[in-house]
Amino acid sequence: MAKADLKSSITRILKIANISLYIIVIVFTGITSILSLYIAASDILKIIMNINSLTDINIINVLSALFLVVLTMELIDMFIIYMERGHIIVDMVIAIVLTAIARELLINYANIESMTLQRGIMLSAAILTLAISYWLVIKADSIKKT
């Protein structure tokens, strides 16, 4: 009997530790989201103040900062759903990574000089692999539901 009580106590402690760590991660991700929103807002204000010097690079920088806000919000959603369901939502993780790669492409487009053939091939391969993975996961979920 004491062994079962010890096991249940350890399990309870580990669950509390797990939830506590996820709450800390959600708070840090929320702070990161607020900071990235601040960066996007300050970039937009810089553009508005210097509308005469508006370039496509400025707009791409704002879009990159907004992508970062979206990524952090999606991460928070993913953590919350994980805590509710108790398992990782694979299609959501893949969608978040696809968004991160889209942001990376946007940044590289802004600084085209830093884009190498090897980096372009790697990004293209990553997008293709993730897109196929996302399609397979969605397809498997739809088959599972029928």
Identity at 35, one-letter amino acid code: L
pLDDT at 86: 79
What's the CA gap between 50 and 45, in Å, rounded?
Answer: 8
pTM of the model: 0.69
Coil, strand or helix: which one is 54?
coil
Q: Which long-range contacts (CB under 8 A, 24 or more apart) does 48-53 make?
A: none
Share of the chain above pLDDT 70, in %: 94
pLDDT at residue 91, as a whole number? 82
Range of the domain at 71: 2-145
What's the number of domains the chain is made of? 1
CB neighbours of residue 48 within 10 Å: 9
Higher pLDDT, residue 115 or 39:
39
Are the C-beta atoms of residues 130 and 101 closer than 8 Å to each other? Answer: yes
Structure confidence by residue, pLDDT tens digits, 5-51? 888 888 899 989 988 988 898 899 889 889 988 988 998 898 888 88
Position 132 pLDDT exceeds 80: yes
- Evaluate if residue 98 carries a pLDDT over 90: no
